[in-house]
Amino acid sequence: MKLEVPARQRSQDAEQNDKAVGALGIDLWKNHPTRLPLPLPEAEAGGALVPPLNFAMVDDGIFRSGLPDADNFRFLLSLNLRSIVYLCPEPYPEENARFLWQNGIELHQFGIEGSKSGLTMPETLLLQEPLAYIPEETIREALKVILDVRNQPVLIHCKRGKHRTGCVVGCLRKLQKWCLSSVFDEYLHFAAAKARSTDQRFMELFDASSLMHLTASQ
């Protein structure tokens, strides 16, 4: 024989059950009928790895690119970076700085102006073309950081990964005894239509002799 529970009693029992569940700290889905689980961000959901603009491998443990954004963070993690060499004078973006701090990546900033503001050496006057001022000593200091194995894997970047990054990598290639035509070919590959003959002139005149001992120890 089936016993029928009066509707009033069923209502009272349900109310008591709700109170008991609430006391245990359990949140019932039926109390929030419009709440849906949020989709995981792409990085957490196993989405594609997205490299930064103009990304490439320079050598074992050395990479180059343009300024990464949040879409590239998961890709950067896959590189197991120890440090970043940032070639712009502007403060590092807050979101990027937070990402570095959270993942134990050290930032080395060497501020090179990106605007065309002067000449690096008297010979460039013959070209009659304005040049983004590239302080040679700053390039040397950046190369010392890049070639120090304690800082590798390292990512070198400016904003677009073309001119400042291209000059630093070009000077590195001179240390590696690349022929000048190969240095220029690599520079032009990234700079493309934005290539500057004065950047190439800087790389041609860069004296790498004082840094040769750094590559000899690699």
Which sequence positions are flagged as catalytic?
A: 158
Structure tokens at 184: 């220029």
Q: What is residue 184's three-state secondary structure?
A: helix
Q: How large is the C-alpha radius of gyration of the chain?
A: 28
Of 88, 69, 80, nearest to 154 by C-alpha is 80
Give the CA distances from residue 186 to residues 61, 89, 134, 156, in Å, rounded to whole numbers and listed in that order.
Answer: 18, 25, 19, 15
How does 7-39 read in b/e, with b if 16+ C-beta sit within 10 Å? eeeeeeeeeeeeeeeeeeeeeeeeeeeeeeeee
Structure tokens at 79: 């590189």
> CA angle 101-107-113, nearest 5°?
135
Give the CA distances from residue 189 to residues 50, 157, 166, 192, 208, in Å, rounded to whole numbers and listed in that order.
Answer: 20, 16, 10, 6, 22
| Residues paired with 62 in a beta bridge | 59, 154
